[in-house]
Amino acid sequence: MLFLVLALLILAFYLLKRFSTAKGVKGSKKFIKVLSIHHLSPKEKLVLVNVLGDTILIGVTPSNITKISSVEKQIDLPGDEGESSFNFSDFLSQKLGNSPKDKETTC
């Protein structure tokens, strides 16, 4: 009798897991997309994420995650429709209020 109850319990958990994920819990659309990661130290980093169309800059440490800034304008990243170049350090300097350094090009 004990084996029958255990078998029914395992079957119930299996069916619950199988049919709960089939109803759209695991969708094919990605609602959260990591755009860029900048490591500040081995355990600290800045992450630029797109959540449902909103671009957010967050800081990640071993003890917490902090929202630093929201980006209002659309960012064109390489690999998207356009082939514009995206430099994370220039973006970070702009958000911190520093002007990006002029790059010298030599041929």
92 within domain boundaries: no
User: What is the Cα–Cα distance from 65 to 46, expressed in whole angstroms?
Assistant: 10
Contacts of 82 (CB under 8 A, 6+ apart): 76
Q: What is the pLDDT of residue 32?
A: 82
Which sign, positive or negative, has the C-alpha torsion 66, 70, 71, 76?
A: positive
Q: What is the pLDDT of residue 105?
A: 44
16 within domain boundaries: no
Q: What is the pLDDT of residue 63?
A: 92
DSSP string covering 87-103:
-HHHHHHHHHTPPPPPP
Q: What is the pLDDT of residue 103?
A: 47
Domain that holds residue 51: 31-72
50 contacts 29 by C-beta, under 8 angstroms: no
5 within domain boundaries: no
How do the pLDDT tens digits run along the chain, 107 residues long?
999 999 999 999 998 887 775 555 555 467 888 888 888 888 899 988 888 878 888 999 999 998 888 877 666 655 544 444 566 777 777 777 765 554 444 44
Q: Going by DSSP bridges, is the β-strand pair 54-60/65-71 parallel, antiparallel, or unpaired?
A: antiparallel
67 within domain boundaries: yes
- Domain count along the chain: 1
Contacts of 40 (CB under 8 A, 6+ apart): 46
Residue 31 exposure: Cα atoms within 13 Å on the Cβ side? 4
44 within domain boundaries: yes
Q: What is the pLDDT of residue 90?
A: 74
